[in-house]
Amino acid sequence: MAAMLPISLLAAAVLFGSYQWWSQGAKQEEFADAILHTVKRSDFVHQITERGEVLSSSETEIRSQVKTKNSPGLAILQVVEEGARVEKGDFLVQLDASALESELITQQIEVNTSSAIVIEARNIHETALIAQREYVEGTYLQEHQTIEGEIFVAEENLNRAKEYLVYSKKMASKGYVNELQLEADKFAVEKSSKELEVARTKLKVLDEFTRAKSVKQFESDVVIAKAKWEAEKNRLAIEQKKMRELKEQIANCTIVAPRAGVVKYAHENDRRGESNFIVEEGTVVRERQIILKMPDPASMQVEIKINESLIQYVQPGMTTIIRPVGLDEVELRGTIDKVNQYAEPSGWRKANVKEYKAIVNLDETVPQVRVGMTASVTIQCSQVPDAIQVPVQSVYSHGPQYFCFVYHDNAWLAKPVQCGPTNDSFFVVESGLEAAEQVALNPRRFLDQVNLPDLPPEKRQRAVPQLSGESENVAKKKESVKLTEKPPVGKPNTGG
């Protein structure tokens, strides 16, 4: 019995040691795949970097001012070299004016013909005026005086015939004149009376009808002649205007610089990015189409396009840092001037990608920065000094609350946190964590080791909700992050 006691004690010791070894191994296995991050304080900066093209907010556009009418346009015969510095009045572009010059010759013939017709119409009008005056002041008076003379003669003949009849009656009473002679004298009186009446009627017709009719006819001739003259003058004016416009169009075929500056070709690309219009000799230019641009180097800007997942962070007035590509030592300051409210049209290659245009004004510039260069624009969206920050994958969404799993005294604690701004990599933690605490970067792995508030059934199936000011892709990133790295067995990985 005494010999068996040490054996029992030895067996108990072996069993106790085995249990200790097993429990220690289980504890090590429990934390073997934990990836930790030590919470620190640092300045939080949310920046967005996009590339864009350098433009000028104040540039002079050189357009074709030639009317193309029924033709597709005019060909470029000669153009100044791109990048050339010109002074006001210097040559820029020569367009093909041969068709306009041929049309000008034809138009000159039309103008000459119309001028001859105008002269003829003017002479007809002047002749009508003379004819009217001739009748009123000449022909009519002449006819009137002739009829008045006829009346005077008829009255005189009537008076003589009456006196002779009276004399014949006296002589007939004395027997000196027979009845036949007396009847002849009576007939002479009646004849003279009729002739006087006809003359008076003739004068009345002349004054009341013939003169009025003739005057109206001459007035009508004058009005018609004047109307034709005016019509021909208007036609001549139209033809002359066409000729002046042709001369102006021919002059517009030679384009000169409106001011001093540097020349830039106004190439055009379609939505697929392919060249649609190339400024070179032989290219056909439409009416009002931009051929050249003369940017103002004193007012430069950068046009960028921002992805729809980031546009919520960008506002006018934000400061930017601009780094032109190819100028490594140049770093300029700028300010966002405008952010479009609607997405830009996208082609078939980017049908599912929505981008918003933003304009960044350069607060300063250098001679090396030219229009058309590519520039990298870094937008300073937000900044929080001396902020507690944690990686986005360490924040676990549970219903309306957010938690970080803190590793403390070989155990996990689910600490509720209040999250602030994010830059897609880190969250600013406004409350709930302290510096030097360690949080799990793979919190889902330890859900069964922390105590979380119970959720209603309908919220258990709810997707990860959005944080205030957080983009949709950030929330999805938190939900879908799966870390596959495993630290060495026996000790949690405390990554900084």
**How many Cβ atoms sit within 10 Å of the Cβ of residue 337?**
13
Kindly report the CATH number that applies to the domain delimited by 59-96+253-295.
2.40.50.100
User: Comparing 74-88, 273-287, 328-342, 452-466, which segment has the lowest mean pLDDT?
Assistant: 452-466
pLDDT, mean of residues 33-49:
86
pTM higher than 0.75, yes or no? no
What's the CATH fold of domain 33-57+296-496?
A: Elongation Factor Tu (Ef-tu); domain 3 (2.40.30)
Residue 107 pLDDT exceeds 70: yes
- Residue 59 pLDDT level (bands cut at 50, 70, 90): confident
The fold of 99-251 is Helix Hairpins (1.10.287)
Q: Does residue 266 come out as left (phi exceeding 0), alpha (psi in the -120 to 50 range) or beta?
A: beta
- What value, to the nearest 5°, has the Cα angle with vertex 191 and ends 188 and 194? 155
Q: Comparing 28-32, 346-350, 409-413, which segment has the lowest mean pLDDT?
A: 28-32
Residue 254 is predicted with a pLDDT of 95
Q: Is the dihedral of CA 135, 139, 142, 147 positive or negative?
A: negative
pLDDT of residue 350: 65
Identify the pLDDT of residue 348.
65
Q: How many residues does the chain have?
A: 496
- The percent of residues above 70 in pLDDT, for the chain, comes to 83
- Angle among Cα 364, 368, 373 to the nearest 5 degrees reads 90
Region 415-425 average pLDDT: 86
Q: pLDDT tens, 135-179?
A: 999 999 999 999 999 999 999 999 998 998 888 888 888 878 788
Does 33-57+296-496 match 99-251 in CATH topology? no
| The residue type at 242 | K
pLDDT band at 11 (very low <50, low <70, confident <90, very high): low
328 pLDDT exceeds 50? yes
Tell me the mean pLDDT in the region 106-132. 95
Q: What are 455-469's pLDDT values in tens digits?
A: 777 665 443 444 444
Q: Give the mean pLDDT of 66-83.
A: 88
- Residue 391, pLDDT > 50, answer yes
pLDDT level of residue 76 (50, 70, 90 thresholds): very high
Q: How does pLDDT run across 255-314, given as a tens digit for each residue?
A: 999 988 889 898 887 655 555 788 999 999 999 999 998 888 778 899 999 988 888 889
Integer-rounded Cα Rg, in Å, for the chain is 56
Domain-by-domain residue ranges, the chain? 33-57+296-496, 59-96+253-295, 99-251
Q: pLDDT band at residue 234, thresholds of 50, 70 and 90?
A: very high
Asked whether the predicted pLDDT for residue 485 surpasses 80, the reply is no
pLDDT of residue 9: 52
- Amino acid, res. 413: L
Mean pLDDT of the chain: 82
Please state which of the ranges 111-125, 176-190, 478-492 shows the lowest mean pLDDT: 478-492
How much is the average pLDDT of 104-129? Answer: 95
Q: CA 144, 145, 150: angle at the middle one, nearest 5?
A: 100
Place of tokens 């010109």: 86
Q: What's 267's DSSP letter? A: -
